[in-house]
A = this chain, B = another copy of it.
């Protein structure tokens, strides 16, 4: 598992950085296929030639877009995991980080899930990024609960994954407000009743 060589990355010159910022915003808000390279260039204040000199193709811009979001999400999450002191707190920190991330970056749900809806071909270079992030999240949650529930870590990790993914979708589609907070509470409840004794206070 988790083989798939990482997609090629591209050096980010100033022009490329501007283009990637604009492309990321447009792709997320309107969808990948709905956004043309001319629009990206215009919004970035960059010429189309610069786009193709830096990225080579629109597909490569999509790859950089998703890889960039993935990297920024992991960087957003990491310090919160470092700060949390107990395994339970680390799990809850994931849900809290997602809530804050969604509030500031992602009103329309998970960019990976949304991109997956538009990319059917598993050989597309962006596919590995999408599945890679989900695989990473499942592994993370499973590893986080292993200390408190070694016997049921796999099952509990998967349940937390479902709650988390469901909350992202519920947030994006505005199914009900406070989806991430609700998922966090359910996660806390699961952690309290599973495995070891509940925290002292």
Contacts and interface: CB of A to CB of B under 8 A. Distances in A.
Interface stretch (A15-23, A61-69, A97-105, A170-178): A170-178
Number of copies: 2
Given A159-B186, A161-B170, A166-B169, A175 B138 contact: yes
A118 interface: yes
B173 A134 contact: yes
Given A117-B109, A175-B135, A162 B155 contact: no
B162 A130 contact: no
A176 to B, nearest CB: 6
Interface string A109-152: 10011111111100000000011001100100000000000000
A14 to B, nearest CB: 29
A138 B176 contact: yes
A48 interface: no
Contacts of A155: 182
A162 to B, nearest CB: 3
A132 to B, nearest CB: 11
A176 B175 CA distance: 24
Contacts of A159: 163, 182, 186
Interface of A: 29-31, 33-34, 108-109, 112-120, 130-131, 134-135, 138, 155, 158-159, 161-170, 172-176, 179, 182-183, 186, 193
